[in-house]
Structure 1
């Protein structure tokens, strides 16, 4: 297809008249007609209708003092819908009534005793809706001595109940004054923090980054490929004298003596095994070996197996300490690199690796890619994914929250070849959730409290997840494990992490919508599950769910519980968090430039002030939370938005612009998405060497654990297992389990 078919036209820069830079993308990358399945509608109309009906089903009000709660069986097959009121009467529920914008819950009559027959819009099956009191509520209302019912004061949405607060006059008397003074102190600390960061920026701009080192850094930032970036990074390392640090073995953050001893033993046994193998095969220069040689080879291989099993563990003697990769722009100690390369020995047969690495899997753990929320900032994740994909370093376990869940759904449902065609600026053609004019969304927000229509978002999100694909189906198609964090509308219920183990039949697009349901932006939605006949019905009794980033933006504990994840790559783009991320001693691939990496960013005074103010901010936020002083706007406890963990083993922070804050709820065009892809890649390039060393060993373990005992070559297994073919991911796992 010709490039002229695209709607994108390169802009011309002011004054120079030269074309606007395309960040290294070829012209065809801006042609949306080249995208696979660009005009395909994956979602059947009956699935969309089932979702709309579920949104309008009876549901308990979002309050801790509700008189009723609604349950929806996910597999109910009754054609009768009943509503049982507190007084024991039964009222009809019209599930076929038209749904309103924003998913508003319709009112139902509660004064008559009737029974109605209802059907879903596809005419296949319908569930039974039962409204009942909370289990702990009394059967009859409390009656006063004079025979009158005691009136109960209705609790407004988001207000704390008596059960959640402490009794006493001082609490009610001092709550609001204390909240005011603490709030003003927090505002003052925030202003001080901004001033401190500005001082550090000026310090580094005029002292750390100047002259040749600044030119070399600009060369790195201008690189459009990893190869170009590595070349520029090596030049900067050479200029700063970092190569000398790589040659020295000693370093305080790992046991260099043990690493050197193990590496020498591995190399010794490997060379002995190579020589004995050459004798047995009668290679040129060697005489064909006898039984004694075979026995010696067997003993050497056994020693090599025992040594490999002893040292291949998670962060063995500190070789995976991020500090080892934070002193240079590219690479680490030569001793550490030699050790990692030597572990990947070829002297063990595939069958031998299979046996020992099954036992190693629990010790070494797995790697996961975690994509944070952040509204339109989440589109920076595409660049991170592209960098990992081009380097063949994309982990199998992927989790996303809010906007990151949308990106993760695309990654988990597409093969590598499909992703390479999709991760281009032309993908902006499919990013249209914010395309409605203000005359459309403002009346909806005024009426329902939500800017976006959940049903329309479901239609758009279905393209990213290939229709009503479930978590299990995505795993079977690509071998990638998708995880999406959702929290219930009830502020006290636990968070769930949807994946192919916890909710295998849950539809991905419904989990993405729930994870993006921020109060005031989108109302909580119902998760949908796919039935054996292909139809959809509400999941978890029709309870509604919302944005998981409000509590667990990065679900590290849940990933460790379900998939033994102990190494996390976090792409963090939350705008309210990125400002507070600061590493005074440098990060992976971004060392402190002055004093040969031994200095402090902004000088010791600047770093010390930054740490003090940031820790003091966190302290006062915890005071507000634990003294129960914070109100609950929109029925949500917002304290965890600041106090939860937002980082991982490796944390990537793509560079943003001030204009991104203005466009936080707007769709990107091709030019803006090209910049986001570029900046996302730039944030990932410094970390790729660390990730590559980790995955080199991890994938060796996976090959031994899930490989075919029939003698499949490692390269064949690697291609079969990673390329996303639907023919064998589960089969490989099952074969590995049967042999174990």
Structure 2
């Protein structure tokens, strides 16, 4: 029957009739049809909300209250001082002393010149490492297997390719051998034996309290080193068989307690609540990066397909838009939305070049805040607040905003810190890069449903300028100890480099004990990168760095940009050319939504941003995350 239909296909087409599309073709066509998206034609935002936002943006700042002398002339005319368009350092911030004034420009020029030379040297070093690895290591069958790994379009394909590469490189023997210096394998083996014995007893109706006690003692962050990054940096998939067995038996123990009739419902709730407090929670962090943020769709889609999408989601700048979409939709709606047709709703850059130039000359910003509010509201499901989104989907949305005052603290908006704040206003504020979008007033929804200025009408801007990944705040508010960071900032990805390999991407020569690019290449890369950071800190601490557009730009380099798991995409040159252009469904969203399995790494930086792989990972139960999300 199938072959008969194939023979009839061309005949029907010749007669002017169309062949019946296959199911696969129908599915592909649906992925590009915008009218299959839920609420595609719905404009959630109300006109009165936009008017309230426009009034808040143009509202004058209240002048301070001052006392006047009795003898002051009634109609005295005072010429107003000219206000600088971009404020510089205030009197309180300016250092005094003639030595500082004399040496300011010489020091600034010397340090900046040295930074430029170091940056050139760093790029040359990375080119040397790339050439070293591809000429000396990646050739023959090894190169074929790696190409198959990078061309995978699903986790299943990736896992098969990674397994084949591990077998070819001899990593399977390392998995079977339990001893390793970076974890206590004797304790893990002992706990495995005890868990196996107690699980057998629980099947017979006993030893439930002993099982609970044992689980409480071993479900902790980095228990005896089982989450050391080195354990996951020797292979392309998986880790020691002993560690994998430990995770599986812990999961079996938790399921045994959950399904036991010998433990009351209240005792189960108290037990798992204690484990959650002791163990911590997982958060998905989406970085900024202009249109590079559309790569986040691939990460969201992969985690959603694996049923591993965390309930806590944070986003900054472009990542805030994606995070808002995730936090205001259910899993079923996300499965329908995360397709190439979504590009038809991304129209933030639809205006022409001449209009952009006129607006920038008139207002100092390339884009219009009101137009962006209307475009953004669809992703945020209208004027939903953080509390309403949490009650709707159960997901915890966090959006970072930086105050226009350079010395005020960063605000992390969520249903606890700012429950009545409107999500789209926080997303706009988080994307307000100086010169691209003017600072934004956050909006609050009253009990009557009206929008009024939030936080006394203060204005906010791009959170990436100071806190791209707010890990400290997430730990304080939600006990987050494990973070999956999707990092797409184009100015940062170049500096992600693990000399001794990283989880899912080991050093592929000397059986994992070598250095990427050889010891010479790794030592040059590390020393130049640390020297770059040192000179940037000199500029910041000696207050030598100017403030273009009234902003201290040193933090876009010196803050922490990575998490427990850090994923970054394999970008192409066209991404930089289209960094402020709307994506097309076929060429952009479709490609960016499928890049998760192509390239990524994990690194663990210190507080100032320097990579230190010796720092430990932060999860046990979600080792499957480490085997899937880091592909």
TM-score above 0.5, yes or no: yes
Distance 1:239 1:616 in 2: 38
Q: Does the CA contact (< 8 Å) of 1:330 and 1:686 recur in 2?
A: no
Distance 1:601 1:365 in 2: 33
Aligned to 1:730: none
Aligned to 1:336: 243
State the SS of the aligned residue for 1:566.
strand
Unpaired stretches in structure 2, ≥5 consecutive residues: 1-23, 73-77, 604-616, 626-631
- What is the aligned counterpart of 2:592 among 672, 676, 686? 676
Aligned to 1:168: 97
Q: Is the counterpart of residue 612 in structure 1 residue 527 in structure 2? A: yes
Report the Cα offset of residue 683 of structure 1.
4.3
CA deviations on 1:43-91 (whole Å, 9 max, x unpaired) are 01111111111111113xxxxxxxxxx3xxxxxxxxxxxxxxxxxxxxx
Unpaired stretches in structure 1, ≥5 consecutive residues: 1-21, 60-69, 71-130, 144-148, 278-296, 699-740
Distance 1:599 1:532 in 2: 62
Q: Is the counterpart of residue 57 in structure 1 residue 59 in structure 2? A: yes
- What is the aligned counterpart of 1:28 among 14, 20, 30? 30
Q: Does the CA contact (< 8 Å) of 2:356 and 2:367 recur in 1?
A: yes
Q: Is the counterpart of residue 304 in structure 1 residue 233 in structure 2? A: no
Distance 1:254 1:435 in 2: 54
Report matched runs for 1:235-314 at 5 Å.
235-274=164-203, 276-277=204-205, 297=206, 300-314=207-221
State the SS of the aligned residue for 1:398.
strand
State the SS of the aligned residue for 2:418.
coil
- What is the aligned counterpart of 1:356 among 260, 271, 279? 271
State the SS of the aligned residue for 2:401.
strand
Distance 1:669 1:661 in 2: 15
State the SS of the aligned residue for 1:367.
strand
Query: CA 1:529 to 1:151, structure 2 compared with 1: closer, same or farther past 3 Å?
Result: closer
Q: Does the CA contact (< 8 Å) of 2:482 and 2:618 recur in 1?
A: no
Distance 1:244 1:426 in 2: 45
CA deviations on 1:341-399 (whole Å, 9 max, x unpaired) are 11122332363432322222221011111100000000000001111111111111110
Report the Cα offset of residue 697 of structure 1.
10
CA deviations on 1:565-596 (whole Å, 9 max, x unpaired) are 11111110101100111111112111111111
- What is the aligned counterpart of 1:185 among 76, 100, 114? 114
Report matched runs for 1:484-633 at 5 Å.
484-633=399-548
Distance 2:346 2:234 in 1: 39
Query: CA 1:685 to 1:385, structure 2 compared with 1: closer, same or farther past 3 Å?
Result: farther
Report the Cα offset of residue 32 of structure 1.
1.5
State the SS of the aligned residue for 2:452.
strand
Distance 1:559 1:540 in 2: 21
Query: CA 1:424 to 1:186, structure 2 compared with 1: closer, same or farther past 3 Å?
Result: same
Distance 1:484 1:681 in 2: 27
Q: Is the counterpart of residue 316 in structure 1 residue 248 in structure 2? A: no
State the SS of the aligned residue for 2:594.
helix
Report the Cα offset of residue 685 of structure 1.
10
Q: Does the CA contact (< 8 Å) of 1:471 and 1:500 recur in 2?
A: yes
CA deviations on 1:154-173 (whole Å, 9 max, x unpaired) are 76633112211221001111
Q: Is the counterpart of residue 695 in structure 1 residue 622 in structure 2? A: yes
Q: Does the CA contact (< 8 Å) of 2:365 and 2:435 recur in 1?
A: yes
State the SS of the aligned residue for 2:400.
strand
Query: CA 1:212 to 1:600, structure 2 compared with 1: closer, same or farther past 3 Å?
Result: same
Aligned to 1:434: 349
CA deviations on 1:241-281 (whole Å, 9 max, x unpaired) are 1111111111222111111111111111111221x23xxxx
Query: CA 1:551 to 1:24, structure 2 compared with 1: closer, same or farther past 3 Å?
Result: farther
Query: CA 1:367 to 1:138, structure 2 compared with 1: closer, same or farther past 3 Å?
Result: farther
TM-score, reference length from structure 1: 0.75
Q: Does the CA contact (< 8 Å) of 1:370 and 1:568 recur in 2?
A: yes
Distance 1:424 1:692 in 2: 31
Query: CA 1:374 to 1:140, structure 2 compared with 1: closer, same or farther past 3 Å?
Result: farther
Distance 1:217 1:305 in 2: 44
CA deviations on 1:393-423 (whole Å, 9 max, x unpaired) are 1111110000000000001101111111111
- What is the aligned counterpart of 2:150 among 209, 221, 230? 221
Distance 2:67 2:436 in 1: 37
Distance 1:340 1:570 in 2: 23
State the SS of the aligned residue for 1:206.
helix
Q: Does the CA contact (< 8 Å) of 1:383 and 1:681 recur in 2?
A: no
Aligned to 1:196: 125
Q: Does the CA contact (< 8 Å) of 2:505 and 2:601 recur in 1?
A: no
Report the Cα offset of residue 27 of structure 1.
3.3
Q: Does the CA contact (< 8 Å) of 2:182 and 2:230 recur in 1?
A: yes
State the SS of the aligned residue for 2:475.
helix
Aligned to 1:77: none
State the SS of the aligned residue for 1:680.
coil
Query: CA 1:263 to 1:170, structure 2 compared with 1: closer, same or farther past 3 Å?
Result: same
Query: CA 1:25 to 1:324, structure 2 compared with 1: closer, same or farther past 3 Å?
Result: farther
Report the Cα offset of residue 477 of structure 1.
1.2
Distance 2:26 2:490 in 1: 27
Distance 2:516 2:476 in 1: 36
Distance 1:464 1:246 in 2: 44
